[in-house]
Amino acid sequence: MAELEERPFPPGDYPVVVVGSGPGGLQASYYLRHLGIDHALISADPSPGGMFRQFPFFQRLLSWTKPYAPVERDHRFYYWYDWNSLLAEEPGNRAIMPDLMDGTSSFPSRPEMENNLAEYVSRTGLQVRYGCRWEGTRRDGEQFVLETSDGEYRCQAAVFAVGVAEPLKPDTPGFDLVPHYADTQPPENYAGKRLFIVGKENSGFELATGLLQWAQRIVLASPRPTKLSVNTHSLLGVRARYVLPVEDEILGGGVFILNASISRIERLGASYRVHCIRSEGGMEISVDADEVIAATGFTCPLLDLPKLGVDVFGRSGLPAMTNYWESASVPGLYFAGTIGQGVAGMKKYGMPANSGAVHGARYNARTMIGQLASSKFGVQQERPTIAPDRLLDLLLTEATEAPELWNQKSYLARAFSLNPDEGIRDDGIVPLAHFVDEEGDAAVAITVETDDTGDIHPAVYVRAQGRPAQETLLASHPLHDFRTGDNRAQLSQLLRGVTSGAVR
């Protein structure tokens, strides 16, 4: 008789339940397991990958993995050059992505990324209950009860890594007539067509770039002017790989970029007429198109969590969270993956970190699980002692090489406690916004920051006993090696007072 394979994590009681098998859910599950916390990982999907099972449609990902880097692939520092592999403590489970790329680009294709995540599950041996759809949530005393298509799961804490991939269209008249970005057809379907794309962010430009050689004409429209990432000095705005349509428009090749809001879309026989109001001057303009695609964003499918008390905000309906990605209104509910972008952090110069992308979200997940483990289950992580004469080098090396700080600039920091009784202890990676507002033992944290001129430099936050941290910016370096004599001297000066001269 053939053996029936038992799907893992049948309904029942678990200390933690993780919902979602995209990068966020997988990363959270890995660290829960690493810290020895029993949990169930459930997913409505039939296989791992999350949004990368479907998106992006065309082109390659916006995140790179460089096969050739100045550091060895299994070293922690390599993660700065590999934005797509998930984190792992075992060298064999690291840097999976570069081995799966065909070498024609440093940006993986969607199938390569999906494969990367599947390979991660396979190598790490993570268990996932696929085909188990989360349908509802309620409280029962101290526990949460997650209702799923397979039954009920009870837990003390839940991690929702359900993505921000629920198509969102404005309720402006006529949008119900046109497809959302999520329903884009294969490119051949747009051959010779006049295409109108609503939305000028990455999804809109991804479509325009992918359909540039198919469509007869492409019009992109949204109220605000195009923001390009090369101008914002961050990943905010349209990324360089989608800039072709902008160049096309500048040269007058058949792409038209409008700063206009849509007042109405109507059908005209087999085609559409899109009525727009130009942002400058308020002039009305109507554009006829054979195909219209609403690249108008996504929301977060939180189901009944708001009814449970989870506060949400913003166009995408993200949950309001603490600096450790826990619901600000319902403790015990955590969020991993791209949802973490709802934690703004320091947002210096208006620049967000990369919490919405894999390379930021993976570190957020690890940091979050560490906090969940200690606060809910009393699992404390090691805080190694550091000799005073090593601290300066450690701090400057972290700023120069640590992928956590480079991937999440001004958002994550490496922290050390400076309690004279305990000696210098390594507190690992912390959310910077939490560190700078915490009052406690003397401590120091270092991160990497960019200002509005594009200068990248270390930032040091020193906290004296019982007072909030003070900021000091160190000097940048053309090759980003911050281990300069001046920086060392300045850092030494800063720490001298706080460590009574122990550090110099």
Partner 1 sequence: MSAMSQQELVDTLSGLTLFADLSRPQVEAVAHQMTEESYPIGQRILRQGFTGTGFYVIVEGEVAIKIDGNEIARLGKGDFFGEMSILLGEPPVADVVTTRQLRVLHLGGSELEGFLRDYPPVMYRMLKSVALRLRNANRWRS
**Binding of partner 1 at residue 320 (CB under 8 A)?**
yes
**Binding of partner 1 at residue 339 (CB under 8 A)?**
no
- Amino acid at residue number 59: Q
Q: How far is the CB of 102 from partner 1 (least distance, A)?
A: 37
**Binding of partner 1 at residue 202 (CB under 8 A)?**
no
| Interface pick for partner 1 out of 365, 373, 433, 445 (rule CB under 8 A) | 433
Binding mask 172-191 for partner 1 (x = CB under 8 A): --------------------
Alpha helices in 235-304, H assignment, sequence order = 244-251
| Interface pick for partner 1 out of 47, 106, 143, 329 (rule CB under 8 A) | 329
Q: How far is the CB of 323 from partner 1 (least distance, A)?
A: 8
Question: 166: helix, coil or strand?
Answer: strand
Tell me whether residue 394 or residue 436 sits nearer to partner 1 (CB atom). 436
Q: How far is the CB of 136 from partner 1 (least distance, A)?
A: 18
Contact 360, 83 (CB under 8 A): no
- Amino acid at residue number 165: A
**Binding of partner 1 at residue 470 (CB under 8 A)?**
yes
Of 67-75, 144-152, 219-227, 412-420, which part binds partner 1 (CB under 8 A)?
Answer: 219-227
Q: How far is the CB of 307 from partner 1 (least distance, A)?
A: 10
Q: How far is the CB of 288 from partner 1 (least distance, A)?
A: 23
Q: How far is the CB of 24 from partner 1 (least distance, A)?
A: 19
Q: How far is the CB of 316 from partner 1 (least distance, A)?
A: 8
**Binding of partner 1 at residue 473 (CB under 8 A)?**
yes
Of 42-50, 127-135, 218-226, 475-483, which part binds partner 1 (CB under 8 A)?
Answer: 218-226
Q: How far is the CB of 174 from partner 1 (least distance, A)?
A: 16
Question: 57: helix, coil or strand?
Answer: coil
**Binding of partner 1 at residue 13 (CB under 8 A)?**
no
CA-based nearest residue to 60, from 187, 163, 227, 210: 210
Of 14-22, 49-57, 109-117, 315-323, which part binds partner 1 (CB under 8 A)?
Answer: 315-323
Contacts (Cβ under 8 Å, ≥6 apart) of 80: 69, 401, 402, 403, 406, 407
Q: How far apart are CA 207 and CA 194, in angstroms?
A: 13
Tell me whether residue 186 or residue 350 sits nearer to partner 1 (CB atom). 350
Contacts (Cβ under 8 Å, ≥6 apart) of 256: 217, 218, 219, 220, 249
Q: How far apart are CA 174 and CA 493, in angstroms?
A: 64
CA-based nearest residue to 33, from 327, 373, 337, 266: 373
Binding mask 290-309 for partner 1 (x = CB under 8 A): ----------------x---
Binding mask 122-161 for partner 1 (x = CB under 8 A): ----------------------------------------
- Residue for token digits 């990982």? 41
Q: How far apart are CA 91 and CA 362, in angstroms?
A: 17
Q: Within positions 224 to 283, which residues make up the interface with partner 1, using CB under 8 A?
A: 224, 261, 277, 279, 282
The 3-class SS string of 372-389 reads HHHHHHCCCCCCCEECHH
Q: How far is the CB of 446 from partner 1 (least distance, A)?
A: 15
| Interface pick for partner 1 out of 130, 214, 349, 377 (rule CB under 8 A) | 349
Size of the site for partner 1 (CB under 8 A): 42
> In a 10 Å sphere around its CB, with 0-12 CB exposed, 13-18 middle and 19+ buried, how is residue 170 labelled?
middle
Contacts (Cβ under 8 Å, ≥6 apart) of 151: 10, 11
CA-based nearest residue to 364, from 385, 345, 392: 345
**Binding of partner 1 at residue 466 (CB under 8 A)?**
no
Q: In 10 A of CB 38, how many CB atoms? A: 11
| Interface pick for partner 1 out of 288, 389, 437, 486 (rule CB under 8 A) | 437
Q: How far is the CB of 176 from partner 1 (least distance, A)?
A: 16
**Binding of partner 1 at residue 323 (CB under 8 A)?**
yes
Q: Within positions 444 to 463, which residues make up the interface with partner 1, using CB under 8 A?
A: 449, 451-452
Beta strands in 208-268 (DSSP E): 217-222, 255-268
Q: Number of helices and strands (H, E) in the chain?
A: 12, 24
| Interface pick for partner 1 out of 321, 330, 396, 444 (rule CB under 8 A) | 321
> In a 10 Å sphere around its CB, with 0-12 CB exposed, 13-18 middle and 19+ buried, how is residue 311 labelled?
middle
Tell me whether residue 369 or residue 459 sits nearer to partner 1 (CB atom). 459
Contact 137, 17 (CB under 8 A): no
Q: Within positions 74 to 103, which residues make up the interface with partner 1, using CB under 8 A?
A: none
φ/ψ of 253, rounded to 5, equals -95, 0
Tell me which residues touch partner 1 (CB under 8 A): 170-171, 222-224, 261, 277, 279, 282, 306, 311-315, 317-318, 320-323, 328-329, 342, 344, 346-351, 410, 433, 436-437, 449, 451-452, 468, 470-471, 473
